[in-house]
Structure 1
Amino acid sequence: MTDIVRTVGRDCPPELGLGALLTAYHLRTEEEKGAAVADADALPARYRAEISDPRSAFADDVILVARRGDRPAGCVVVTAPVAGRVEIKRLWTVPELRGHGIASALVGAALTHAAAVGVGTVALSVWTWRTGALGLYERLGFAMVESWDERDDLVCMERAVRPTDNV
């Protein structure tokens, strides 16, 4: 069984395992971009800051961590609302636990949170090569929109949220 723990970034306890999940996420992303690095110390500074101090990096954001027993299984960050919109970032599921609904549960919890705080839109960006993630987002009602990010190979998506949504 998977449990989802919700916390605000500045209160995120280290024992949730967010640092390890973010490390795996960033190492994999750099590898997929063709810039593989040996360990977290070789990641770009902004990613090292998230890993070493997620409480500061995501201070006002909501962190959702999926756990299987006493083990972290995945995570997602929901940014603080701005102009009626939140963004979900850093969706990650431990590779050996994929296919068990963890990512869907995390995105569902993010959508439920967004509805609870009264935002109208949930946005995200995803690399074009992450076809599994693209498919998941489309199944959950996200649609491609004009990009707000100028990086190549990045797809921007949004989904409307109604106050009554409970995914």
Structure 2
Amino acid sequence: MTERCEVVIVRWPGQVPSSGDGLAGLLAAYHLRTEAEKGAAVGGVDGLPERYRAEISDPGAAFAGDAVLVALSGGAAVGCVVVTAPVGGRAEIKRLWTDPEFRGRGIASGLLRAALAHAAEGGVGRVRLSVWEWRAGAIALYERFGFVVTESWDGRDRLVCMERVVCE
């Protein structure tokens, strides 16, 4: 049986996450895993594209104006998600990640639920996201939360674009 632990979702709209909060490690793990899954594995953060290194080295600057939500368990960061600032009534969910050691405990669902609540509180009408087609578990999670596949806004191959109405 998977051990359940208390998870607290911390929101940072308008706040700058500190460098010691574990967010950088979560973002690094996310990007390294994604590059490996795309067949472009790199030996470490220094091998990542500059835009990803910038997120890891200074999440506060990279996501200025966005809401960064972090799941904490016993004070340790175990998951994260970013909700972009709304543009034209639409926000985007990015970087949903749970530390592999903490998967199966509802952390991603909790983060997604909090992200959608944050969007609704901000009056966002629609939330969109993109996910690699091989991440079947993530796609299934998004579908359970009412996201549907939509026309792509991103030209990258194998990227699935999804959208959900938050409030109308």
TM-score normalized with structure 2 length: 0.94
Who is 2:160 aligned against? 155
Give the fraction of aligned pairs with identical amino acids, expressed as a percent: 64
Q: Which of these residues, 111, 119, 122, is aligned with residue 114 of structure 1?
A: 119
Q: Which runs of 5+ in 2 are unaligned?
A: 1-5
Deviations 1:92-129 (A, max 9, x none): 00001111000000000000000000010010000000
**What letter corresponds to residue 13 of structure 2 in structure 1?**
V
Shift in Å, 1:10: 5.2
Q: Which runs of 5+ in 1 are unaligned?
A: none
Q: Which of these residues, 32, 36, 41, is aligned with residue 31 of structure 1?
A: 36
CA contact (8 A) 1:2 1:67 kept: yes
Who is 1:140 aligned against? 145
CA contact (8 A) 1:16 1:65 kept: no
CA contact (8 A) 2:127 2:164 kept: yes
Deviations 1:73-96 (A, max 9, x none): 100000000000000000000001
Distance 2:16 2:72 in 1: 17
CA contact (8 A) 1:78 1:110 kept: yes
SS of 1:108's equivalent in the other structure is helix
Residue 41, structure 1, aligned to residue 46, structure 2: yes
Shift in Å, 1:9: 6.2
CA RMSD of aligned residues (A): 1.1
Distance 1:9 1:65 in 2: 14
Count of matched residue pairs = 163
SS of 1:134's equivalent in the other structure is helix
SS of 1:16's equivalent in the other structure is coil
Distance 1:57 1:139 in 2: 29
Who is 2:3 aligned against? none
CA contact (8 A) 1:9 1:54 kept: no
CA contact (8 A) 1:79 1:87 kept: yes
Residue 130, structure 1, aligned to residue 140, structure 2: no
SS of 2:97's equivalent in the other structure is strand
Shift in Å, 1:8: 2.9
CA contact (8 A) 1:9 1:55 kept: no
- After the TM superposition, which residues 66-145 of structure 1 pair with which residues of structure 2 at under 5 Å, given as runs? 66-145=71-150
Shift in Å, 1:12: 1.4
Who is 2:12 aligned against? 7
